[in-house]
Structure 1
Amino acid sequence: MPDYQSREDKLDDITDATLTTTGWTTITPNTDGDWLNQRNPAFQSFTPIADEPGAMFTSHSAGVQTNRDAWCYNFSHQAV
């Protein structure tokens, strides 16, 4: 389906659609094994953030975590 198509246009498209009248697109996986939403190879040239040679940072962490989210924050002040 084309982007930004109205509801009526989409319904019109599928009302008369059959396997023989549908335009098919052949999808071939890239070298990374991506079938859909194939990644852009330009991302490989970006500086890694951590855990690789030449990385921007030598280490990283998830920051301060309690892993007890329900006990540490809530929409209700009294519940916390």
Structure 2
Amino acid sequence: MKRRERTRQLIELGGLIAKAELIELTDDDRTVILGLLIEAATKLKGEHRDQQLLLWRRRGTRAFVQNQLAERP
């Protein structure tokens, strides 16, 4: 069961990378995508972690809301 949950988590995370258009914007360059993720992780290890999380959470929330509105008939 844990393997299935892990697989689902990985698929959902890949979906977020696609939703952020990182695949197209990087021409599917996985080293660039990994670099972006490492840069984000570095910021989360810094002094301004809470501020960064708040900023990214707000942006993510707006993106999810905009996506929901765009999907309505």
Give TM class, smaller chain: under 0.3
Judging by fraction of residues, say which structure has more helix: 2
Higher gyration radius (CA): 1
- TM-score with structure 2 setting the length: 0.26
- TM-score with structure 1 setting the length: 0.25
